[in-house]
Structure 1
């Protein structure tokens, strides 16, 4: 299913420097004219992240993207990321126009958790509290009791476990297993995975450690268990950035999408960051840790979205109200516990 989606992806054309600068200036003007703000994920192109910063927008993980979009006074939210992020913004701000550079940018976790199959899975286990990762469709969120991001998943599941609740978790089995190990909760897992994080190799990290013996290993827990086991710190994108600041190591091996390197190098300029390998020995590239869907966000389709209101996100009103409940539950919990 996921590979079928990947087959249709095309490489974004290289835009000459002069045209890129013209697009940047046009986007800045359009953001003002449309009363719009740009919200970009850490995994998008560094050029988009820089543009969001320069225009008073937000570069962050999906939890902060959700909060920022909900609380910002702009009438239009432009979400550079993948489709579930745009849907989340629309659910939390139904009165706002939500645009994305492309509606084709999806997520393997979202694709791998169809709402009808997931609903049947939930129906088969009615005694469990349904906790879904943010990387899911609006319809899957509407079926959940809780929505979580990777930055808050441990705290939410630990809380639910303390209340004696058993968990049904979807869709990322690696993150779910990590949460299960860390909290000791009773967790039933959906079988899904991120195509980027699943490719990190424990042996590759061990080999890198021979070259960089003093490097800290920072891992996103969407990675397989043997990779997480090697981590000096496992956590969300925002937690990885914080760990890079806090740890004394001058070198960091990072197992997550390479898009995060823009913010890492900006926030911690005196340290060296090395991408963890995804390729085995003999491969032509050391690491291909880039989400192909995040890479579909670019200056030209961002300008087009603002100019012509293409890529607008719509969520059925009733579905949005139902999905709003577990999302609001997460945001309220985060406000008290993060």
Structure 2
């Protein structure tokens, strides 16, 4: 398996005044009603988009719950604010609905790092393996899999599949796959991918910050490097991290994931203090640069234009959609507690 190169967007978001934000929100509200549409947004998107989604009867969550909401939502049109694989998942699960995105250029390093031709060849090299892929993959990769999982159910799905006593392939995030192997005792064959945001968290910087905030609990997303995970009090999905911040007695939390999550955390636990885990290396211009550049491409401006003009519609080849439907249905139907696990 060779290293896969891709370009990362240098996106500069336009800073709006409160009055401009209100004007955009008002126009989008009217369009949502006119088009019988709902916004389904990820925790990593802009604060204003998250607010608007919830104010208009839409939804904000992680990729698993976004998929579940999209499938049960009565709206004729879903506007998925996130990255492309989320829009594809919505279309696969709800083919009768029109699925729009603010931009189709918002993708994911995990998706880009797992092209279907190379992944299919990788699977062929490991016959008789159960193929488990992370939700952060293309529709074509999902169609090549047996199971699709998100970080909120990955551990429990692998524990469930271990009872079948079959070897397993995991793709694409090697850090999450390694974490699952360590936690479950599984010996999955791992694809060599990573998230460009979570890969940048630094154990040394995190240790230094823990000395500054000795009473803070450390919450880490499992796409982070093992040396960072090792320092965590809780390792979990975005939803599990949010739950931990609400339910744990600590007043301070160091958080190692995309800083877009801080909006929801502060709304749900306004009396608590949330501190960004460090990513900065030598010569860095910010202490924590933890924000997905593709998530940052979602904005009120392009959300409005997509809804107004019907542009950026997500389309999935029907043969691929049918093949991807089975592993995705397994994902949305898998029953899990959703609880976070405190490390000891």
Q: Shared fold (TM-score greater than 0.5)?
A: yes
* Corresponding residue SS for 2:306: helix
Displacement of 1:2 after TM fit?
7.0
1:60 maps onto 2:64 in alignment: no
State the partner residue of 1:5: 7
Distance in structure 1 (CA, Å) of the matches to 2:242 and 2:289: 20
Displacement of 1:40 after TM fit?
0.5
Q: 1:206-247 CA deviation, whole Å, 9 max, x = no partner?
A: 000111001000000000000000000000000000111111
Q: 1:34-82 CA deviation, whole Å, 9 max, x = no partner?
A: 0000000000001100000100111100000000000011010000000
Alignment of 1:74-153 (within 5 A): 74-153=75-154
Q: Which segments of 5 or more consecutive residues in structure 1 lack a partner in the other structure? A: none
- The 8 Å contact of residues 132 and 170 in structure 1, kept in 2 or not, is answered as yes
State the partner residue of 1:276: 277
- The 8 Å contact of residues 11 and 296 in structure 2, kept in 1 or not, is answered as no
Q: Which segments of 5 or more consecutive residues in structure 2 lack a partner in the other structure? A: 339-344
Deviates more, 1:128-137 or 1:277-286: 277-286
Displacement of 1:283 after TM fit?
3.0
Give me the TM-score of the superposition, normalised by structure 2: 0.95
* Corresponding residue SS for 1:10: coil
Q: Decide which structure has greater helix share.
A: 1
Distance in structure 2 (CA, Å) of the matches to 1:4 and 1:119: 19
Q: 1:119-140 CA deviation, whole Å, 9 max, x = no partner?
A: 0000110121000000000000
Alignment of 1:1-338 (within 5 A): 4-6=6-8, 8-280=9-281, 283-334=284-335, 338=338
Deviates more, 1:16-25 or 1:287-296: 16-25
Q: 1:275-315 CA deviation, whole Å, 9 max, x = no partner?
A: 00001255331000000000000000000010001110000
Distance in structure 2 (CA, Å) of the matches to 1:295 and 1:140: 24
Displacement of 1:255 after TM fit?
0.1
Deviates more, 1:97-106 or 1:159-168: 159-168
Distance in structure 2 (CA, Å) of the matches to 1:43 and 1:124: 36
Size of the aligned set, in residue pairs, is 336
- The 8 Å contact of residues 6 and 112 in structure 2, kept in 1 or not, is answered as no
- The 8 Å contact of residues 255 and 277 in structure 2, kept in 1 or not, is answered as yes
Distance in structure 2 (CA, Å) of the matches to 1:36 and 1:278: 38
Distance in structure 1 (CA, Å) of the matches to 2:106 and 2:231: 31
